[in-house]
Amino acid sequence: MEREAEVLSARPGLFFDPFEIIGLNDGATYTITSFELSCQKAFLKCGSLDEYLAVTADILRRMGFTDCSFTRMNTREMEHRMFTTPEALTEHYQHPDISKNDFVLRYCSESTVPRRKSEFDRYIEQANFDIDILRSNRETRQILEGYGYWDYYNLPIPATNGRGNVMLAATARRMAVNDFGMLVDKYAVALRILARTLDHAGTTRIPREFLGKDEEKEIHIKPRALAVLNLMANEGMSVAEVAAALHLSEARVKQLLRAIRDALDARTNMQAVARAYRFGLIN
């Protein structure tokens, strides 16, 4: 725990919400719990991918990183929808041959052990043969270094929804590889917490934006069941009042509520209402 607390040491202002910096004293050491809670608080105010990206990028900049991306590794097509790097670089990664051959993307699709780009670069340098996959990775390396990205920290973690991995990648433009390694070591624990908190928040709060098209869970709820949920959520009606308003029996209303809870993986009616709001099923 002492080691983890040391790793989380940061400059003042790291713990914040997106719009108001909370001033802290110099030299403060932050616990894992307080950092995670601060990230959760910041993400609570987000309602779109752009806002999630802005908060993530701000946290990383306070650590010393300049750019980042967040990628779902199991989608059929590599989609860097959350990134602060130049558009042309993102388009490069979306090319089918690159997404198929890139060592980092292939590795992070299968493993949850973080790796720096420089580790893959050393392998490429030491290879005494020339094949398409190596040429493709050399080209990617040249493009990254042309933008001043001399190293990257690639952090794959299991996705919150259980569908493969997600990856948070962070870099510091024009920072020497050795200096970048020390920066990563300092914030390794915080980066993992940030990645986990970001994925959990986005998956549960804005799943239709945050998840890949082939990851979205199809939710089938009949119009009458939604009418029941709307009356309970927006009018505060009881089961008996809903039954009277819709000319249904109370038993039928309860049956519809059970179907809603099953469709939304909710244990209670209140939880069903909350999830229905998140999924945009009711307003």
Q: What is the DSSP string of 31-60?
A: -HHHHHHHHHHHHHT--SHHHHHHHHHHHH
Cα(15)–Cα(13) distance, rounded to whole angstroms? Answer: 5
Contact 42, 55 (CB under 8 A): yes
Computed over its alpha carbons, how large is the radius of gyration of the chain?
23
Among residues 227, 215, 213, 216, the alpha carbon closest in space to that of 281 is found at 227
Shared-domain flag, residues 10 and 103: yes
Structure-block tokens of residue 262: 């099953």
Shared-domain flag, residues 153 and 234: no
Shared-domain flag, residues 141 and 52: yes
Q: Any idea which residue has 């433009």 for tokens?
A: 173
Among residues 260, 201, 251, the alpha carbon closest in space to that of 233 is found at 260
Q: What is the pLDDT along the chain (283 residues), one digit of tens a residue?
A: 333 333 344 333 333 433 332 333 334 445 667 788 888 889 988 988 999 999 999 999 999 999 999 998 876 444 446 899 988 887 777 776 777 788 998 899 999 999 999 999 998 888 887 788 888 899 889 999 999 999 999 999 998 877 789 999 999 999 999 999 999 999 999 999 999 999 989 988 888 788 866 665 556 778 888 899 889 888 889 999 999 999 999 999 999 999 888 887 778 888 788 777 766 677 6
Shared-domain flag, residues 87 and 197: yes
Cα(138)–Cα(102) distance, rounded to whole angstroms? Answer: 10
Structure-block tokens of residue 226: 């939604």
Domain residues for 110?
2-210
Shared-domain flag, residues 194 and 241: no
Contact 122, 177 (CB under 8 A): no
Shared-domain flag, residues 109 and 182: yes
The verdict on residue 217 lying in a domain is no
97: domain CATH number is 3.30.450.80
Question: Looking at the 3D structure of the chain, how many domains does it have?
Answer: 2
- Chain-centroid distance, C-alpha 62: 18
